[in-house]
Amino acid sequence: MIKSMTGFGRSEITVHDRKFSVELKSVNHRYLDVNIRMPKALNFFDSAIRQELKKYISRGKVDVFITYENLGEATSTVRYNKELAAEYLAYLEQMSKEFGLENDIRVSSLSKYPDVFVMEENDVDEEELWKDLQTAIDSACDTFVKTRITEGEHLRDDLIQKLDHMAELVSFIEERSPKIIEEYRSKIDARVREILGDNTVDEGRLLTEVTIFADKICVDEEIVRLKSHIDTVKKELGGGENIGRKLDFLAQELNREANTILSKSTDLEIANCGIELKTEIEKVREQIQNIE
């Protein structure tokens, strides 16, 4: 099944007194570009998070928002550095005696000296923390992938309709092309007879002129390739994943063949049909840009 590169997923879980919220948003991008915003406490898992996302996503610009809250015991504690405080106090008393100054030190002021009180992070079971975070990520990714699949199905249906219309245009060009040669032969024959009057027309010369014209406007190869590319795109849309790049290449080839037909065309009907064909190919190309 095909997937769109546009998607959204969100999950919120509480496990082991930890609350996680994970949100994913994505838009089109040529490659996989992941931007993660999360608390500093989870920065250690940046690489693991990216590897986990690759299990679900191969292309697209993805923004990931993660929030984390510890609902259990405090994650940090205050430690009183008694030895350092005593050393500060001893030096202050020494300064008071040496300079004859009043020692006005108070507990409130001593506590503000560097490192008298320090915050220490409690030990965290990183393996357990990762498993809980991974569960939240996987849950969000499941929802995210479902939205991509749903959008991908809509894209497929729309593309199939456009491809069917393109096939009709190619069939018209295929049917119209031989008629142009006959019309050209009749026009040349009539023109020559008008000029020569009752004189006999040189059939050999006329045949040569028609043959040169037919070779110049021949689009048989282009038609064969267009049909083949259209069938291939339909086949790819019928199954398989991660087909966006291949479809993009096929769209370029379709456009190349349509351009060649237009450059060879001397017939207004085929020219108009070729322009419409190019328009449809461009619409298909734009839609293909949305496929993963």
Would you say 248 and 257 are in contact if contact means Cβ atoms under 8 Å apart? no
Q: Write the pLDDT tens digit of every residue in 43-79.
A: 999 999 999 999 999 999 999 999 998 876 655 678 8
Which residue in 23, 26, 24, 22 sits closest to 6, CA to CA?
26
Domain that holds residue 57: 7-73+125-148
Residues 131 and 249 in one domain: no
CATH of residue 141's domain is 3.30.230.10
Residues 169 and 232 in one domain: yes
Which residue in 152, 172, 171 sits closest to 160, CA to CA?
152
Grouping H, G, I as helix, E, B as strand and the rest as coil, residue 136 is helix
CATH of residue 182's domain is 1.20.140
pTM of the full structure: 0.69
Q: Write the pLDDT tens digit of every residue in 226-247.
A: 999 999 999 999 877 789 889 9
Q: Which residue has the higher pLDDT, 30 or 204?
A: 30
Question: Is 140 a domain residue?
Answer: yes
Residues 133 and 94 in one domain: no
Q: Which residues does 49 contact at the CB level (< 8 Å), separation at least 6?
A: 36, 38, 64, 66, 133, 137
State the pLDDT confidence band at 215, using cuts at 50, 70 and 90.
low
Could you give the number of structural domains in the chain? 3
Percentage of residues in the chain having pLDDT higher than 70: 84
Q: Round to whole Å and give the CA distance between 131 and 263.
A: 61
Q: Is 242 left (phi over 0), alpha (psi -120 to 50) or beta?
A: left
Question: Is 90 a domain residue?
Answer: yes
Q: Round to whole Å and give the CA distance between 198 and 278.
A: 47
Question: Is 33 a domain residue?
Answer: yes
